[in-house]
A and B are shown apart, each in its own frame.
Chain A
């Protein structure tokens, strides 16, 4: 019994001598967990888009470095009169990454753009009248699946849900976003 008592006493003293009290141990664990979480978090700038209030924010190192009013998907549904196709113009929620950065982008109009305006639909995918060099503004950040962050011809409509799914910004905010965000950076949309 004496031996056990002395052993436990020795262990306890060693424990305290090393500054390894339960409290200190928990603090060490917390520091390690915080470090692990920091390693998981994004070190580069990332974009956060609130589609409900049409706000775009650029975050870096835990703070907002730029924010802007944007325009996002209207949620409207468009029906193809002949083929019974259906398009819904929503901005998709979730994590995206910037796949490509483009200057002076040219918009290759999809079929819905012609259906919406009651125009005849081009038969060939490379027809010249599909190409529109003015609508997207000076820059575009491609997110994939045809969704982009780009400029607008109608800056007075920013702050509303009026787009076909893309995110529109005015010229100054678009230039700043293009400057701050690189290819591969994350874009969180909710």
Chain B
């Protein structure tokens, strides 16, 4: 380590960072997992899910949005933060219809994997059981709006990478929901294509590509094989 290298301390481990990097980017690059859901390396930070909440010099912050600065003392893996993140995941579970046994995404779902990560045994809170409908008008992709967790990954992908602006969030607070940018509000009436980035970034089972749902059997999928934290750390090692 050179004398000029910039370093932050995460759980008392020195982690190098490049100027301009967020804490989450620096940690993931170094193979250290910080739980996250609405973050994706290809997109600008969103800061909505709060699962990457950390303590920076004793103050609450989100790792995806706070810039790394030399000498920061950062807490990630503490029982308090763990419990706090579990509560956030529980609230996401009760706000939508997350019936894992009937969902095609089960085993590849990041929300489910984070439930495992935080040892969530029950969603605990009173369920909303929303009825936001299903849109199957598109020939290759379907949307179950009741599973959307409003991470805006599809919104960002469609706007910033596909340059189509197919998705948006409408409404405020409890009424916030995903909408499709067409006069009918149907996905089939947009120029959305299955090859779009936005068709493949949904971390839950809200946006699903048709006819591939069970091509990989339940029980053999990504997070059936290894925890989401182990997967992130392994990917970082493989990249280096």
A pairs with B: no
